[in-house]
Chains A and B, each alone.
Chain A
Amino acid sequence: MTEVADPRPLAAVLVSALAMCLIIASYRYPNVRESWSVVAALAKFGIILSMLPGVMDGTVYEWSLADSLGVEFLAGIDFVLRADPLGLLFALLASFLWIFTSFYAAGYMRGLDEHAQTRFFASFAASLSTAIGIAFAGNLVTIFIFYELLSLVTYPLVAHNEDNEARIAGRKYLAYTFFGGGVFLLAGTVLVYWLTSSADPAGEAHLAFESGGIGMLAEAAQADPVFAQAAFYLLIAGFGVKAAVMPLHSWLADAMVAPTPVSGLLHAVAVVKSGAFGVARVILDVFGPGLIYDLPLSVPGVGEVGLNIPLAILAAFTLTAASIIALRKDHLKRRLAFSTTAQLSYIVLGLSMLHPLAILGALFHIPAHAFGKLTLFFCAGAVHVETHTDYVSEMAGIGKRMPLTMSAFAIGAAGMAGMPLIAGFVSKFYMLIGSGSVGGGYWLFATALIVSGILNIAYLWPVVYTAFFESEDRHDAKPLLEFPPGGKRESYFEDDAAVATDGGDRSDEKPESGQPQPADERDDETEAKGAGTPETVNDEDEPEYAVDKYPSDHTVPEDAETHDDHAEDHHDHGDHHHGGPPAGGWERHSPFTESTWLMIFPISVIATGAVTLGVIPDYAVFLDLAMYIVEGVFGVDSFNELHDLSLEEAMEVIDR
């Protein structure tokens, strides 16, 4: 591996920071402003792509503040950006998807005529800048800097709506992410700094990432295993917050109040993946699988277990639990958010199993999930822009109205579930083989993977089913969503009518141009009565409505607020119905007229990408890159050497 001083990693970070300035400067001209986004996205992707051949040949491009400007960031710590294979994997993915997201975002924001668009696009560009910074960060302090900045610049996107719900979500977001970054991650970094500088005879700290783990840290860990373990868990907790590993996940669902491009690119790709990526960095490049395996944790009553086991158990729990929660979410974006929580834990689980195949699967799952989830979010956003429908229960028959969008959704959903021929299959396949090769107690994790795959189908298939195989006026009840927990004795055909007339009913009741006051009052009234005591047939939909909007961590007043905002939203946008099909049922549209090209084009490209990754993973660059990373970590020349090894054998390989 040769290191070359090159300003390109810096350029890749700065190009969107520059775009941010230009976006703010040209706030008067929306077309110019959006074109800066696109230009910056293309430039960024171009710069990163130009480094790909070199990196695949074993070159590492590096830019350091001390070498280029002679400024030492902190005593003994340099500010380094380096493009190594792992960083490039994440950077390539984020910058590629940004191109299409910038088109989509323009379409989305214009379609809804949103306020404060300049702030939105500026923050978006800044987020990408910091995400690439995380990808290319060459040591723990640099990654910490960008990690903190990422939390900061995404905050305006979460609180974008400027209503109470958004502000509360924003507060929660800040609290969680800064607890992760400013407290856990900083504490972990300081511990590593201290450990390495006290182990080093020259007293120098070693914070730079090394493929396979920081050598000096391994020495320090032999002397001080307890602090090394504490540092490991602090760092993992720091990154785990953004990777939404339970119990630190609850910000993600709330952050879905953000506009959909944000939920899509940031809260399914850039932000949350920066957490998963950070976990990968910690496991592969800071501690290294070898050290993690050699640093047993003695648990009273169980004996010594690997440092990775608690993390793997947590991840396995998260991916099962989040999938189960997703089953009960009627709000499509929230359902997708819990799906994201689950899928991110796949990555964490794969990494923490330490087997080369599992790590390969986890790394490949980063792009695989990104393509799939971005498709799903784009579709949810397109549906919202075109029909203002946010709830799965209102989507019956929507396949007629948005055929292409819902087809893409089906592809994305299949990818999430790990169906063959879609990207998600390849990664889950490797992870399963990986956990199988380890054997022993790891069958538990294999089971979790399979169970969660089934649950994935269970919560995403109904969306596809209701869109294509049901119609507005006649569709099945959704027992999980509509009935109280434990089932309901009544026949559901009666309800059915109420559900069907849901949207129409409400819009009839309140005049479109008038004050939304009556509606609000009515909502509050129902809310006060509680979910269980519907009064009239008309109100029959209310409790159902309230139930599905009660995520476990919400309180009543907040929900009341959600209601109001939801109702008001449509007034603000001059839309004349309240989600769900219009009075006469869905209009039939051809795939080319269902939305603007600004939205259709990105959706189709990303969905195609998801299929490409699934059908010919060997030709799409990500799998190669992932294999190359694993080779580097285990220090072998070819991935084939790792294929048939058990975990112990693999660890011996790394120790050589």
Chain B
Amino acid sequence: MSSLAEMLPALLVAVPILLAAVPIVLGLRFERTGWSVAALTTTALTAATVYLAAAVYETGRVVHVLGGWGETADRPQGVGIELVADEFSVLIALLVTVTAAGVLAYTRVGGPRGNTFYTGYLLLIGGLLGLSLTGDVFNMFVFLEIVGLATYAMIAAGDGPESAVAALKYLILGTMGASLYLIGVGFLFMATGALNMDVLGEAIPLVAEEGGSDLTLLRAAFAFIFIGFALKVAQWPLHTWQPDAYQHAPDGVTPVIAALVSTVSAYALGRIMYNVFGPEFLTATPYLTEIVVTVGCVSVLAGSTLAVIQRDVKRMFAYSSVAQFGLIVAAYGLVTQTAFVGAVIHLIGHGVIKAGLFVAAGVVALGYGARTVDGYAGLAEHRPYTAGSIAILLIALIGIPPSAGFIGKWYVAVGAVEAEVWPVAVVIFLSTMLTLAYSARLLEKMYFTPAIPVESPHSPGPVAADGGTDTGADDHDGATALGRDSFRRGSPDAVSIGMLGILVVIAVAAVLLGFAGGAFFEWLEPFTSEVFTE
């Protein structure tokens, strides 16, 4: 093990946070340095994460103890804060760095611009990496809040005042979530006297075996932590902040938030559930798995249903996220190895797909002037590459093989059947149809609804009846500047090659990941077998 690999976890967290100050400092002298700094940093971070992943692949988990407070003969483990890079966390860290670097291709031209934005961006990346790598439950709270702060600020960077309202809503609810998590940590600390995940993981089975009031504390701790994360991951009925936040955030910010923030929170939930509490505690506690699974399943159903009735495309995708994370939470609740692998794969797959979809929403808003589902009519004809990418991503989201969406769903489904939890299995199988319901709506608009309705004599009727909306909706949507030249709407020139390029790359990645089902399983094997054979 090279010493570099051991240093990397700390560097991955510290470097972006420190460099976050650079755009502001440079901004005093130069106008637009933010993007370059961010691009350099994220590229370096990506390279570092790949290196770390290679090290993990070769030698297993890499642990960095901050400040040299590692375990010694007279000092037990858990005094210093640990940063842990194992198969699970490195996978998420890779998703974070790669997505962060990729989305920059959009923001360069698509904005938001300004050095302060990139300060927030780097802060967010640092927080996310910290959240994925940390091995300490209190440290996790700090990173949760760093991520939250950066996210609130970036959402508020939107043009309209709406974004400030959305950000405040998110701030209040997000803080509540993090605070509830902190209470849970407090209970854990009361019960065990430890904060380190490894130490907790060893202590909790002992406490659980002993029973008594400490066990009650543990159960309360789990309840608080779960509800805290349910807020952060936007599970029904605690999802209300998410659609507003996603819709009103600047187009360049949504992909990062949608792909990473909830994803990493969901990762943290998985980490706490499986590394700290452990499968034994989860299955031994009465009603625990049932509740987790119910929350997930209800979110799948409610999220999809709400997505179908949305008019705004970004809002629709936001509700779709509620549903997809419901699938992940339900998979966590199944407590089988296969379902857990499925949840992890779906985390990654959904992150990639949603990043792509939100980048596409930005590209369409910029280059086609459309933000509503109805406004997407005729997109295929006038913007074939964008429409094609959206179509592929939607298909991947539905879970049609070979795609990232399918392999996740496959493992979750197998896990549900293995656990013989039939209601969950039914919901998972039906989730295809639910996702199809809103995806097909957009597909049909893009490909089979002409953009120029005046050509056809009875267009207003069919168009309105079809989408289930009145045509009045179209009026404040540049999309339907009814007229022969309506296909010239938006500003196609504003869409740079980089933006289209990243969109196509993400779409291709979503398909190629569909062939990695076996690879993911093998990669996670050391982690899962350790967790599940304890």
Q: Do chains A and B touch in the complex (CB under 8 A)?
A: yes
A164 and B466 contact, Cβ closer than 8 Å, known pairs A72-B518, A74-B410: yes
Interface flag for A570 (CB, 8 Å): no
- A-B pairs with beta carbons under 8 Å apart, 10 shown: A72-B522, A73-B402, A75-B338, A76-B518, A149-B400, A156-B448, A182-B399, A190-B417, A191-B417, A568-B457
Bound-state CA distance A163–B410 (Å) is 36
Cβ B432 vs Cβ A178 within 8 A = yes
Cβ B515 vs Cβ A71 within 8 A = yes
A603–chain B nearest beta-carbon distance, Å: 30
B389–chain A nearest beta-carbon distance, Å: 15
**Which residue of chain B has its CB nearest to the CB of A165?**
B462
A159 and B518 contact, Cβ closer than 8 Å, known pairs A164-B466, A182-B433, A190-B413: no
**Which residue of chain B has its CB nearest to the CB of A164?**
B462
Interface flag for A186 (CB, 8 Å): yes
Cβ B413 vs Cβ A73 within 8 A = no
Cβ A186 vs Cβ B413 within 8 A = yes
The 5 closest A-B pairs by CB, nearest first: A72-B518, A182-B432, A75-B521, A74-B517, A145-B401
Cβ B457 vs Cβ A74 within 8 A = no
Q: Which residues of the other chain, B, contact A120 by a CB distance below 8 angstroms?
A: none
Give the most central of B414, B433, B436, B519: most A CB within 10 Å. Answer: B414
**Which residue of chain B has its CB nearest to the CB of A193?**
B414
Give the most central of B436, B465, B521: most A CB within 10 Å. Answer: B436
A74 and B518 contact, Cβ closer than 8 Å, known pairs A167-B449, A194-B414: yes
A26–chain B nearest beta-carbon distance, Å: 15
Bound-state CA distance A186–B414 (Å) is 10
Query: Contact flags (1/0) for A162-185 with B, using CB distance below 8 Å?
Result: 111011001100110011001100
Bound-state CA distance A144–B399 (Å) is 12
Interface flag for A516 (CB, 8 Å): yes
Cβ A174 vs Cβ B436 within 8 A = yes
Known: A77-B518, A182-B400. 15 other contacts (CB 8 A): A66-B518, A75-B338, A77-B517, A145-B402, A152-B395, A162-B450, A166-B448, A167-B448, A175-B433, A175-B436, A179-B433, A186-B410, A187-B429, A190-B410, A190-B417
Q: Which residues of the other chain, A, contact B465 by a CB distance below 8 angstroms?
A: 164, 557
A561 and B432 contact, Cβ closer than 8 Å, known pairs A74-B518, A162-B450: no
**Which residue of chain A has its CB nearest to the CB of B444?**
A167
Interface flag for A200 (CB, 8 Å): no
Q: Which residues of the other chain, B, contact A171 by a CB distance below 8 angstroms?
A: 440, 444
Interface flag for B172 (CB, 8 Å): no
Cβ A178 vs Cβ B466 within 8 A = no
Interface flag for B458 (CB, 8 Å): yes
**Which residue of chain B has its CB nearest to the CB of A184?**
B429
Cβ A190 vs Cβ B414 within 8 A = yes
Bound-state CA distance A74–B466 (Å) is 39
Query: Contact flags (1/0) for B477-518 with A, using CB distance below 8 Å?
Result: 000000000000000000000000000000000000001111
Bound-state CA distance A174–B402 (Å) is 18
**Which residue of chain B has its CB nearest to the CB of A115?**
B450
Q: Is the interface of A mostly helix, strand, loop or mixed?
A: helix
Bound-state CA distance A162–B395 (Å) is 20
Residues of A within 8 A of B (CB-CB), count: 46
Cβ B515 vs Cβ A73 within 8 A = yes
Cβ B457 vs Cβ A517 within 8 A = yes
B343–chain A nearest beta-carbon distance, Å: 15
**B431-482 residues at the A interface, CB under 8 angstroms:** 432-433, 436, 440, 444, 447-450, 457-458, 462, 465-466
A178 and B518 contact, Cβ closer than 8 Å, known pairs A74-B407, A74-B410, A156-B447: no
Cβ A183 vs Cβ B429 within 8 A = yes
Q: Which residues of the other chain, A, contact B522 by a CB distance below 8 angstroms?
A: 72, 75
Query: Contact flags (1/0) for B395-418 with A, using CB distance below 8 Å?
Result: 100111110000100110110011
B484–chain A nearest beta-carbon distance, Å: 17
Cβ A178 vs Cβ B436 within 8 A = yes
Q: Which residues of the other chain, B, contact A564 by a CB distance below 8 angstroms?
A: 458
Which listed residue (B338, B457, B518) contacts A73, Cβ 8 A? B518
Chain A residues within CB distance 8 Å of chain B:
65-66, 71-77, 79, 141, 144-145, 148-149, 152, 156, 159, 162-164, 166-167, 170-171, 174-175, 178-179, 182-183, 186-187, 190-191, 193-194, 198, 515-517, 520, 557, 561, 564, 568
Bound-state CA distance A164–B456 (Å) is 12
Cβ A162 vs Cβ B402 within 8 A = no
**Which residue of chain A has its CB nearest to the CB of B458?**
A564
Which listed residue (B395, B400, B410, B433) contacts A183, Cβ 8 A? B433
Bound-state CA distance A71–B414 (Å) is 20
Q: Which residues of the other chain, B, contact A190 by a CB distance below 8 angstroms?
A: 410, 413-414, 417, 425
Interface flag for B26 (CB, 8 Å): no
B6–chain A nearest beta-carbon distance, Å: 31
A148 and B429 contact, Cβ closer than 8 Å, known pairs A74-B518, A74-B521, A516-B457: no
Chain B residues within CB distance 8 Å of chain A:
338, 341, 395, 398-402, 407, 410-411, 413-414, 417-418, 425, 429-430, 432-433, 436, 440, 444, 447-450, 457-458, 462, 465-466, 515-519, 521-522
**Which residue of chain B has its CB nearest to the CB of A144?**
B401
Q: Which residues of the other chain, B, contact A198 by a CB distance below 8 angstroms?
A: 418
Cβ B518 vs Cβ A75 within 8 A = yes
Q: Which residues of the other chain, A, contact B400 by a CB distance below 8 angstroms?
A: 148-149, 152, 182
Bound-state CA distance A202–B521 (Å) is 17
Bound-state CA distance A182–B401 (Å) is 10
A277–chain B nearest beta-carbon distance, Å: 19
Cβ B457 vs Cβ A515 within 8 A = yes
B444–chain A nearest beta-carbon distance, Å: 6
Bound-state CA distance A301–B413 (Å) is 35
Q: Which residues of the other chain, B, contact A170 by a CB distance below 8 angstroms?
A: 444, 448
Q: Which residues of the other chain, A, contact B466 by a CB distance below 8 angstroms?
A: 164, 167
Bound-state CA distance A166–B449 (Å) is 11
Bound-state CA distance A76–B432 (Å) is 23
Cβ B433 vs Cβ A187 within 8 A = no
A556–chain B nearest beta-carbon distance, Å: 13
Cβ B401 vs Cβ A194 within 8 A = no
Bound-state CA distance A159–B521 (Å) is 39
Bound-state CA distance A179–B398 (Å) is 12
Cβ A71 vs Cβ B417 within 8 A = no
A77–chain B nearest beta-carbon distance, Å: 8
B424–chain A nearest beta-carbon distance, Å: 12
Q: Which residues of the other chain, A, contact B402 by a CB distance below 8 angstroms?
A: 73, 145
Give the most central of B338, B341, B399, B448: most A CB within 10 Å. Answer: B448
Bound-state CA distance A516–B458 (Å) is 10
Give the most central of A74, A174, A516, A520: most B CB within 10 Å. Answer: A74
A182 and B458 contact, Cβ closer than 8 Å, known pairs A74-B407, A74-B517, A171-B444: no
Q: Which residues of the other chain, A, contact B433 by a CB distance below 8 angstroms?
A: 175, 178-179, 182-183
Cβ A159 vs Cβ B444 within 8 A = yes
Q: Which residues of the other chain, B, contact A73 by a CB distance below 8 angstroms?
A: 402, 515, 517-518
Q: Which residues of the other chain, B, contact A79 by a CB distance below 8 angstroms?
A: 515
Which listed residue (A71, A77, A194, A568) contacts B519, Cβ 8 A? A71
Bound-state CA distance A194–B417 (Å) is 7
A263–chain B nearest beta-carbon distance, Å: 18
Cβ A194 vs Cβ B418 within 8 A = yes
Cβ A561 vs Cβ B414 within 8 A = no
Q: Which residues of the other chain, A, contact B448 by a CB distance below 8 angstroms?
A: 156, 159, 162, 166-167, 170
Bound-state CA distance A162–B445 (Å) is 10
Bound-state CA distance A80–B238 (Å) is 44
Bound-state CA distance A191–B416 (Å) is 10
Bound-state CA distance A355–B216 (Å) is 64
Give the most central of A75, A144, A159, A164: most B CB within 10 Å. Answer: A75
**Which residue of chain B has its CB nearest to the CB of A65?**
B515
Q: Which residues of the other chain, B, contact A159 by a CB distance below 8 angstroms?
A: 444, 447-448
Bound-state CA distance A604–B414 (Å) is 50
Q: Which residues of the other chain, B, contact A156 by a CB distance below 8 angstroms?
A: 447-448
Q: Which residues of the other chain, B, contact A141 by a CB distance below 8 angstroms?
A: 401
Cβ B518 vs Cβ A182 within 8 A = no
Cβ B517 vs Cβ A183 within 8 A = no
B503–chain A nearest beta-carbon distance, Å: 18
Cβ B444 vs Cβ A182 within 8 A = no
